[in-house]
Amino acid sequence: MLALGKLLDLTLAGREPAEKTQMTVEGVRMRWLGEGALEVRPPEARDNGMDLLLSAGIHGNETAPIELLDELLHGIARGDIKPRARMLFLFGNPEAIRRGERYIEQDVNRLFNGRHELSSGTEALRAGELERLAATFFSVPGRMRLHYDLHTAIRGSKIEQFALYPFKEGRQHSRRELARLRAAGMEAVLLQSKASITFTAYTYEQLDAEAFTLELGKARPFGQNQQVNLLLLEERLKRIIEGDEPSAEDERLDGLQLFSVAREIIKHSDNFHLHLPADIENFSELSKGYLLAEDLAETRWIVEEEGARIIFPNPKVKNGLRAGILIVPTTPDQLG
């Protein structure tokens, strides 16, 4: 197997490869772009016009997606997977991955769309570098652009595998992409309704890619992800990479649960208090009238929506950041 196929090993060791460019027997070109970054190009005659960005490890302790990308790269380097798509593999926060921690100083996934320019430190620099790598990769006109940013969650979830679909004013959510997510094993999709500062928000809003944050189960250490079943996602990614998706795949969304954002719960001060059990799961339902959170100046969040659920509750975020999202069910006919 080509050495560049071992991008994870290089990243964990903090080493640069001796050879920055290598070629497989089938003529697939692998090029090391920097720490945790590898470009894969199919032979020109096989290129189907797809640019696919796969990222993981934006949070360093979310190991199941990192292991999945590692397996895909091994398959490409061995010649078992024969790409027709041009690809960029990114391990987002190498130092946090090495330490097995979510982040070192600050959450990288809250530093995109220019937010890193308002901050300092190695993770702010890394967010800027990830933006530059993605912008260069998606700079070729006339090509399909797709970005999956793979994560696992801090807490358990009543819906284990789900996707977050970014928002841009005037741009419609794609039924075709929702059907692709359904085929990849996603049980639900959250349709966001405002601009954001995550990696996929950047590639969706600024680089015109179809972009999704995929949540794939609960975060566990390397080698302990047997309970995270990524077989459907792995199979779909291989088909996208090899240009082998069903050509006439319909846009049925049967069984795919859709949600929209009702409100974001923003932590304004150290007085913030979230009235939820510490072990509450994502997608837990909340009854109308429930006092969800309180903050200074008698700020109160009371559940007013029918069928409301909570995701990503985290009272420990920094002041000014989101401490949870209140979501409600929606239907395909409300896509937009």
DSSP labels, 273-311? EE-S-TTPPBTEE--TT-EEEE-STT-EEE--STT-EEE
3-state secondary structure of 237: helix
Find tokens 């792995």 and name the residue: 234
Mean pLDDT of the chain: 93
Calculate ∠ Cα 238-84-46, nearest 5°. Answer: 150
Structure tokens at 310: 């909570």
Judge if 174 and 310 occupy the same domain.
no
Active site residues: 215
Q: How far apart are CA 190 and CA 194, in angstroms?
A: 12
pLDDT the model gives residue 89: 98
Torsion angle defined by CA atoms of residues 42, 47, 53 and 57, in that order, rounded to the nearest 10 degrees: -20
Judge if 137 and 284 occupy the same domain.
no
Range from 55-59, 163-167, 180-184, 244-248 carrying the lowest mean pLDDT: 244-248
Instruction: Supply the DSSP symbol for 104.
Output: S
* Of the residues 242, 272, 296, the one at which a domain ends: 242
pLDDT tens digits along 246-302: 865 566 788 899 999 999 999 999 999 999 999 999 999 999 999 999 998 888 999
* Domain around 294: 262-328
- Average pLDDT (209-234) is 84
Total domain count, the chain: 2
Answer for the pair 265, 292: CB distance below 8 angstroms, yes or no. yes
pLDDT the model gives residue 319: 92
Instruction: Supply the DSSP symbol for 102.
Output: S
Binding residues for Zn(2+), by number, are: 59, 62, 151
> Does residue 312 surpass a pLDDT of 70?
yes
* CA 118, 124, 125, 131 torsion-angle sign: negative
Q: Residue 251 falls within a domain, yes or no?
A: no
Q: Could you give the count of Cα atoms lying within 13 Å of 233 in the half-sphere of its Cβ?
A: 25
> Does residue 77 surpass a pLDDT of 60?
yes
Q: How far apart are CA 164 and CA 86, in angstroms?
A: 24
Amino acid at 106: Q
pLDDT the model gives residue 253: 87
Give pTM, 2 decimals.
0.93
3-state secondary structure of 135: helix
pLDDT tens digits along 97-132: 999 999 999 999 999 998 999 889 999 999 999 999
Residue 51's nearest CA partner among 5, 84, 21, 73 is 84
Share of the chain above pLDDT 70, in %: 96
Answer for the pair 199, 58: CB distance below 8 angstroms, yes or no. yes
Contacts of 330 (CB under 8 A, 6+ apart): 191, 258, 259, 260
Q: Residue 248 falls within a domain, yes or no?
A: no
Judge if 86 and 124 occupy the same domain.
yes
pLDDT the model gives residue 44: 96
pLDDT the model gives residue 218: 77
Query: 331: pLDDT confidence band, cut at 50, 70 and 90?
Result: confident
pLDDT tens digits along 5-22: 999 999 999 999 999 999
* Of the residues 212, 242, 272, the one at which a domain ends: 242
